[in-house]
Structure 1
Amino acid sequence: MNKIKGFSLIELMIAVAIMGILAAVIYPTYTDFVAKGGRADGLAAVMRVANLQEQFYLDNRQYATDMNDLNLGADPYVTDNGLYSVDSTGTASFIVVATAQGKQASRDSACITIQINDIGEKSPAECWE
């Protein structure tokens, strides 16, 4: 009597269906995780520029009018990963705005722009959580 070893078509279809269900659940979670990881780059850049603005204010009694005054080079400043461009304006007060670029703009549509001002108001609030 010969024993046939292997998978039947039904067993294979069940395994493919299970993998499809898992992928449908896992993929949105993964893309959300990647978007939040990229957002951390933008938040760090906004906080860095805000700190540089405060340091500039201590030295000059006014906030910097462009990014060159903060020794960040080009105006607007682009983060190392290239996910956000950051710009800041002000003299008596300032607003730092990070705008998502490229893939980050399509991944994280809820937080296309992230900003903070001189009194620490952060918007949109859900992007800072």
Structure 2
Amino acid sequence: MRQKGFSLIELMVVVAIVGIIAAIAYPSYQQYVLRSGRADGKAKLMEMLQAQERFFSQNQTYTATLGTGAGGLGYSADANGAVASESRKYNITAAACSGKTIANCVNLTATPTGAQANDAECGTLTVDSSGVKTKSGSAALATCW
């Protein structure tokens, strides 16, 4: 009499194959999630850089105040003055460029938060009002920007 169904060996082979596929796919998925988070941070940086340029054209100076305070850009900022990106994967801050005053140059910094802080490839992203872009991670600048 012939039995119907799967043997334990066949079942274990299928489980092993699924495990191998998952071990390969999950790290790729994590990298994809980090890349999409980077896009969120870069978009917010560019939006805020445009707001800084509008502010400069009206006031002949940039501002380190991103919030709604006097001389600010009007974004919803936390107690430290940081503005969260749309999906809250980065906190954006503004400061004067190194060796310059805020009147002449502003440097916007996107610091990763939460799970995005695991992004060792790009880490913290920065852009200044002269268009210089940097990152703190190990990847090439073109990969991050």
Instruction: Specify if TM > 0.5.
Output: yes
Give 1:28's aligned amino acid. Answer: P
Contact 2:110 2:125 in 1 (8 A): yes
Give the letter for the 1:15 counterpart.
Answer: V
- What are the ranges of 5 or more consecutive residues in structure 1 without an aligned counterpart? none
Offset at 1:42?
0.5
Aligned counterparts of 2:64 and 2:42: Cα–Cα separation in 1? 21
Q: Take 2:64 and 2:14, find their aligned partners in 1: how far apart are those partners?
A: 60
- Alignment equivalent of 2:74, drawn from 67, 71, 76: 71
Q: 1:59-80: per-residue Cα shift (whole Å, max 9, x none)?
A: 1111113113111132111123
Structure 2: distance between partners of 1:47 and 1:82: 16
- Would you say how many aligned residue pairs link Structure 1 and Structure 2? 126
> Is 1:105–1:112's contact at 8 Å kept on the other side of the alignment?
yes
- In the other structure, the counterpart of 1:34 is 33
Secondary structure, counterpart of 2:121 in structure 1:
helix
Percent identity for Structure 1 against Structure 2: 37
Q: Which has the higher contact order (CA 8 A, sep 6+)?
A: 1
Deviation of 1:37 (Å): 0.8
Structure 1 segments, 4+ long, off by >4 Å, are none
Matched, 1:104 2:121: no
Q: Deviations over 1:4-39 (max 9, x none)?
A: 101011111111111111111111100000111111
> In structure 1, what is the Cα distance between the partners aligned to 2:126 and 2:105?
14
1:127 is aligned to 144
Q: What is the TM-score with the length of structure 2 in the denominator?
A: 0.82
Preserved CA contact (<8 Å) 1:65 1:91: no
Distance 2:28 2:64 in 1: 40
Q: Please tell me the root mean square deviation across aligned C-alpha atoms, in Å.
A: 1.2
Q: In the alignment, what sits opposite 2:14?
A: 15
Q: What SS class does the counterpart of residue 97 from structure 1 fall into?
A: strand
Counterpart residue identity of residue 104, structure 2? A
1:118 Cα deviation after fit = 1.1
CA distance in 1, matches of 2:76, 2:27: 37
